[in-house]
Amino acid sequence: MRRHMLLRSRILLFALAGLCAFAGGMVASRPSRAGRFDPYHKLGVFTKVLSYIENSYVEDIPETELMYGAARGLTEALDPHSRFMDPEEYDRLKKETEGDAEITGIGVDLEKRKRGFVVVSPIEGSPAFRAGIESGDVIDRIDGVEAGPLDWNDAVARIQGPAGSEVVLAISRRGREITFKIRREKFEVKAVEWRMLDDGYGYIKLRLFSAITDAKVLEGLQDIQTRSASAGGIKGVILDLRHNPGGLLDQGVKVADRFVSTGLIVRTVGKGGKEMDRQMAHPRGTWLGFPMVVLVDGATASAAEIVAGALQDHERAVIMGTQTFGKGSVQTVMTIDGCGAKPCGLKLTVSRYYTPSGRSIQSQGITPNVVVEATAPAPDGGDAEIVRERNMERHLRNEQGEKPEERKRLTDHQLQVALDYLKSWAVFSKQSVKKG
């Protein structure tokens, strides 16, 4: 059995080495012909190169290292999300998609692009996040070593390390260089967390789509429902997909299905335009009857984008935040024997996906219904100069108290705006009822 996944090509530089789905089946012992060329004819070139290296290269290179290097070379000719994984990396991958992840490292999500190693996002609460690493930062040097010429594994090995040790990263950010000294730690990243923001208003944070994500979302909804009983039921829910790199495709579909009762959730199309799969919503177990806001940002990717796209197309939720990452492809991870005591893995892009309305978000992302930047705009300095009634001499005193009522605001600007929208919806809905 194969399980599909949606995920950026990246590494989380800790134990979380690449959230994705995997295939339980083995790769066929003899691959099918690739259409326009015979792979076995091409193996002659590979055999000759291998022979020259083994017989003439100045140093002895382990056979396993040569084989892994060759396999990585094949996938490097493909899209950035296809990747060969050695036994250690593949073993970590399988463990991490089982549930909450225990991480050792700095907690940063990277991609290798033309301009170098780029930070897609720091993991919330991680050492990198606390140090101030931001999405879009480009790593120039790792402990003084130029990062550009390094291959993927060498760069990762230099950034990874045991808890308690430090790594120094020189970062390029919007034309200036910043140096960070970050201490590696061991910490846990929970797939889903939730809490109440106000009476009847619940908040669910999805950090990744592992095997337990949908079950945890349901647990969170049930808890929010219980806590909202005194307020007359759930008044609104905020689903936070910011900094969510994706993960298991089936979990993304299940989460979307929690809030959509009928219709298409996602459609995948493979090689030659052949439709691979069509996932539909089911009315049973659907949570309706309250408004929703889904928070997204530039690090919202893959399975997280499928959820946002489905809820947006079905008009089940208002999508708020900034443009998403734009990964519109699906990967399958296959188990490969012959790597010793533990198997290797191959993550291969096998299809593109489309939202219910037929949109491909590949390299474009999802445009929010309401664009809200991560930080609040600077206050208008001129507002402080406005003379109000309370500033006038001999003004009548307010018998109920002179001090204006202060609204308690969240430090998270986007989350506060989302909560404001939900509360405004309650006001508008009452007006609609009165008009009717």
Q: Is residue 251 part of a domain?
A: yes
82 and 19 inside one domain = yes
- 372 and 246 share one domain: yes
Same domain, 27 and 54: yes
Whether residues 242 and 148 fall in one domain = no
Q: Are residues 60 and 22 in the same domain?
A: yes
23-33: b (≥16 Cβ within 10 Å) or e: beeebeeeeee
Convert the pLDDT of each residue in 301-346 to its tens digit: 999 999 999 999 999 999 999 999 999 999 999 999 989 899 999 9
Over residues 200-210, the pLDDT tens digits come to 999 999 998 99
CATH number for the domain that contains residue 244: 3.90.226.10
Over residues 155-212, the pLDDT tens digits come to: 888 998 899 999 999 999 988 999 999 999 987 778 899 999 999 999 999 998 999 9
Average pLDDT over residues 58-85: 88
Residues 149 and 292 in one domain: no
109: confidence class by pLDDT, cuts 50, 70, 90: confident
Question: How would residue 99 be classed by pLDDT, with cut points 50, 70 and 90?
Answer: low
Query: What does the pLDDT look like over 368-417, one tens digit per residue?
Result: 999 999 888 877 666 667 888 878 888 888 887 777 667 788 889 999 99
306 in the same domain as 322: yes
C-beta of residue 9 within 8 angstroms of C-beta of residue 245: no
| pLDDT of the residue at 23 | 31
Which residues are catalytic, by number?
302, 313, 327
**Do 181 and 124 fall within a single domain?**
yes
Examine the pLDDT at 348 and tell me if it is beyond 90: yes
Let me know if residue 341 belongs to a domain.
yes
**Total domain count, the chain:** 2
Shared domain check, 139 and 182: yes
Of the three residues 131, 161, 186, the one that is the final residue of a domain is: 186
pLDDT above 90: residue 131 = yes
Listed residues 163, 186, 209: the one ending a domain = 186
**Domain's final residue, options 140, 171, 186:** 186
Q: Please state the three-class secondary structure of the chain as a single string.
A: CECEEEECCCECCCCCCCCCCCECCECCCCCCCCCCCCHHHHHHHHHHHHHHHHHHCCCCCCHHHHHHHHHHHHHHCCCCCCEEECHHHHHHHHHHCCCCEEEEECCEEEEEECCEEEEEEECCCCHHHHHCCCCCCEEEEECCEECCCCCHHHHHHHHCCCCCCEEEEEEEECCEEEEEEEECEEEEECCEEEEEEECCEEEEEECCECCCHHHHHHHHHHHHHHHCHHHCCCCEEEEECCCCCEEEHHHHHHHHHCCCCCCEEEEEECHHHCEEEEEECCCCCCCCCCCEEEEECCCCCCHHHHHHHHHHHCCCCEEEECCCCCCCEEEEEEEECCCCCCCEEEEEEEEEEECCCCCCCCCCCCCCCEECCCCCCCCCHHHHHCCCHHHCCCCCCCCCCCCCCCCCCCCCHHHHHHHHHHHHHHHHHHHHHHHC
Does any domain span residue 293? yes
Query: Does residue 403 lie in a domain region?
Result: no
Asked if residue 49 and residue 170 are part of one domain, the reply reads no
**Rounded Cα distance, 335 and 342, in Å:** 10
Chain segment 262-294, per-residue pLDDT in tens: 999 999 999 999 999 999 999 999 999 999 999
Do 349 and 207 belong to one domain? yes
Is the pLDDT at 241 greater than 50? The verdict is yes
What pLDDT was estimated at residue 343?
94
| CATH number (domain holding residue 147) | 2.30.42.10
pLDDT of res. 5: 60
The mean per-residue pLDDT over the stretch 40-53 comes to 84
- Considering the domain architecture, whether residues 204 and 180 belong to the same structural domain is answered as no
Amino acid occupying residue 192: V
Residue 58 inside a domain? The answer is yes
The pLDDT assigned to 364 comes to: 94
Q: Does 384 fall in a domain?
A: no
The mean of the pLDDT values for the chain is 85
Residue 135: partners with Cβ closer than 8 Å, 6 or more residues away: 119, 120, 121, 122, 297, 298, 299
Predicted pLDDT of residue 31: 45
249-257 helix and 303-313 helix, angle to the nearest 10 degrees: 30
Residue 434 domain boundaries: 1-31+40-100+190-376+411-436
Kindly state whether residue 393 falls inside one of the protein's structural domains. no
Q: Is 423 contained in some domain?
A: yes
